């Protein structure tokens, strides 16, 4: 069996953790499997390098940032190879140049294009454990690129696809995907299985287990993922096309506090106003999530929408600058909101779910500010202070802990 295993930066942060991971790797190797391992940069290495760059330049060029940052993963794989050799097993580390991991040209946020498998296959044939730098690639100018946040997950999935691996295991800080954040909901239950689409909703809703791009790629190439912890022996969560559990209407509840609401009040009720408004924001690369339009007074309309809090300042500034052109009366901002979402692949065919969700919040006395739905999720915008209570209420209403 060929297994691809990915470990994040905190899993290889120091000597003890490196040897812990080395031993996990060896379990599979000793059992006769071929093992390809993807590693991120150690613990704070990337942050330290970012700090160094910041000292030199307020806005360093992205090409040189990638040249700088890609050293972090190279250090990780070299150290892990040494650890495996110390334990008496053959290993070889490879960076993006050595693997032939080609990407698009965009520095800082490149997309993987192709992986040459010859070198990896040759090292596996020599019975080596193969350690590969995550997060990085080489573009057509023969320069290092990096894949953006969560890039090492994508590297692992792409390798699993290219090598036709039998398994792709993503080791993280948590031991799987839960029906809700276990810190908020005491009886949250770990899911045995989840579909790619559900995982995508979970990821975009703030459950930072897997990066969206890696899940999209896994879906595209049909790579079955296992999410599990490097620190425990617990079985993880399998991410796949279709889950076996037929009746699983609802998988879990997530709460995202990185949300702010902006309302543009008193727009003239004319065609093209929404387009004008949102093209302003897309020019600044600001993602808008929930959008709500309502009729205002005297032939005007109001448009409310949510953005990530880190984009709030820039969004408001841009709107204020163009207030006159937009013909808006005023811009209102609410920073203290949260988005609570219910995710489930079986949701689309069952109309009672939204009602049950609203009822749960009504019973808890929580006011709903905005509503947004998709095929497999329902999101509600509420006051930030109610976020945990709402999560628990919804989790209970749908009996997600599995208790009767």
- Taking the complex as a whole, the smallest distance from the CB of residue 139 to a copy of itself amounts, in Å, to 11
| 89 belongs to an annotated ligand binding site | no
Residue 353 neighbours by CB distance under 10 Å: 19
Interface with a copy of itself by CB under 8 A: which range of 91-99, 156-164, 267-275, 331-339?
Answer: 91-99
252 φ, ψ (degrees, to nearest 5) = -175, 175
| 222 belongs to an annotated ligand binding site | no
The first and second tokens of residue 300, run together, are: 């005007």
> By C-alpha distance, which of 137, 96, 142 is closest to 113?
137
| 172 belongs to an annotated ligand binding site | yes
Interface with a copy of itself by CB under 8 A: which range of 80-88, 168-176, 219-227, 260-268?
Answer: 80-88
Q: Is 70 in the site for a copy of itself (CB under 8 A)?
A: yes
Selected from 64, 276, 359, 389, the binder of a copy of itself by CB under 8 A is: 64
Q: Is 50 in the site for a copy of itself (CB under 8 A)?
A: no
Given a contact cutoff of 8 angstroms between Cβ atoms, the answer to whether 265 and 329 are in contact is yes
Q: Is 36 in the site for a copy of itself (CB under 8 A)?
A: no
| 117 belongs to an annotated ligand binding site | no
From the number of C-beta atoms within 10 Å of its C-beta (0-12, 13-18, 19+), residue 109 rates as: middle
Given a contact cutoff of 8 angstroms between Cβ atoms, the answer to whether 347 and 378 are in contact is yes
| 278 belongs to an annotated ligand binding site | no
| 126 belongs to an annotated ligand binding site | no
- Taking the complex as a whole, the smallest distance from the CB of residue 155 to a copy of itself amounts, in Å, to 17
2's enclosing H/E stretch is strand 2-7
Q: In the complex with a copy of itself, which residue's Cβ is closer, 86 or 232? A: 86
Of 2-31, binders to a copy of itself (CB under 8 A) are 15, 18-19
Given a contact cutoff of 8 angstroms between Cβ atoms, the answer to whether 22 and 84 are in contact is yes
Write each residue from 126 to 145 as x if it is in contact with a copy of itself (CB under 8 A), else as -, in one continuous string: ----------------xx--
Q: Residue 140 and residue 146: Cα distance in Å, rounded?
A: 13
Given a contact cutoff of 8 angstroms between Cβ atoms, the answer to whether 70 and 113 are in contact is no
The first and second tokens of residue 305, run together, are: 């929408």
Q: Residue 222 and residue 240: Cα distance in Å, rounded?
A: 8
Q: In the complex with a copy of itself, which residue's Cβ is closer, 55 or 403? A: 55
Given a contact cutoff of 8 angstroms between Cβ atoms, the answer to whether 369 and 289 are in contact is no
Q: Is 392 in the site for a copy of itself (CB under 8 A)?
A: no
Given a contact cutoff of 8 angstroms between Cβ atoms, the answer to whether 392 and 360 are in contact is no
- Taking the complex as a whole, the smallest distance from the CB of residue 9 to a copy of itself amounts, in Å, to 15
Q: Is 85 in the site for a copy of itself (CB under 8 A)?
A: yes
Q: Residue 225 and residue 227: Cα distance in Å, rounded?
A: 6
Angle at 393 between CA 211 and CA 207, to 5 degrees: 5
Of 93-112, binders to a copy of itself (CB under 8 A) are 93, 95, 97-98
Write each residue from 150 to 189 as x if it is in contact with a copy of itself (CB under 8 A), else as -, in one continuous string: ----------------------------------------
* The length of the chain, given as a count of residues: 404
Q: Is 52 in the site for a copy of itself (CB under 8 A)?
A: yes
Annotated binding site for substrate: 46, 73
- Known binding residues for ATP are 6-9, 172-173, 178, 183
Residues that bind a copy of itself (CB under 8 A): 15, 18-19, 49, 52-53, 55-58, 60-61, 63-65, 67-68, 70-72, 74-75, 77-79, 81-83, 85-86, 92-93, 95, 97-98, 119, 142-143
């Amino acid at each position: 069996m060929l297994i691809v295993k990915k470990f994040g930066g905190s899993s290889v942060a120091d000597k003890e953790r490196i040897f812990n991971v080395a031993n996990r790797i060896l379990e599979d190797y000793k059992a006769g499997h071929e093992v390809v391992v993807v590693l991120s940069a150690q613990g704070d290495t990337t942050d330290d390098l970012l700090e160094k760059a910041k000292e030199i330049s307020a806005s360093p060029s992205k090409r040189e940032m990638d040249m700088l940052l890609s050293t972090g993963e190279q250090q990780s794989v070299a150290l892990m190879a040494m650890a495996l050799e110390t334990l008496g097993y053959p290993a070889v580390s490879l960076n993006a140049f050595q693997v032939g991991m080609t990407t698009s040209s965009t520095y800082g946020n490149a997309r993987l294009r192709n992986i040459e498998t010859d070198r990896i296959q040759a090292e596996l044939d020599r019975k080596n454990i193969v350690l590969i730098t995550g997060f990085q690639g080489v573009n057509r100018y023969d320069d290092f690129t990096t894949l953006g946040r969560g890039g090492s997950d994508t590297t692992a999935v792409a390798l699993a696809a290219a090598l036709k691996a039998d398994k792709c295991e993503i080791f993280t800080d948590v031991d799987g995907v839960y029906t809700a954040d276990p810190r908020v909901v005491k009886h949250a239950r770990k899911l045995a299985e989840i579909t790619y689409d559900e995982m995508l909703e979970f990821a975009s809703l703030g459950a930072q287990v897997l990066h969206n791009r890696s899940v999209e790629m896994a879906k595209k190439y049909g790579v079955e993922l296992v999410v599990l912890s490097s620190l425990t022996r617990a079985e993880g969560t399998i991410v796949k096309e279709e889950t076996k559990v037929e009746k699983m209407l609802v998988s879990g509840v997530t709460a995202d506090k990185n949300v702010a609401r902006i309302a543009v009040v008193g727009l003239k009720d004319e065609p093209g106003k929404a387009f004008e408004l949102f093209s302003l924001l897309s020019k600044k690369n600001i993602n808008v999530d929930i959008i709500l339009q309502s009729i205002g007074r005297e032939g005007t309309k109001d448009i409310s929408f949510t953005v990530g809090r880190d984009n709030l300042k820039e969004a408001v500034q841009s709107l204020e600058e163009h207030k006159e052109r937009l013909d808006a009366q005023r811009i209102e901002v609410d920073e203290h909101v949260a988005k609570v979402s219910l995710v489930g692949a079986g949701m689309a065919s069952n109309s009672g779910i939204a009602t049950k969700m609203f009822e749960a919040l009504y019973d808890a006395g929580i006011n709903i500010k905005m509503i947004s739905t998709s095929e497999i999720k329902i999101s509600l915008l509420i006051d930030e202070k109610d976020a945990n209570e709402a999560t628990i209420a919804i989790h209970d209403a749908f009996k997600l802990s599995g208790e009767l």
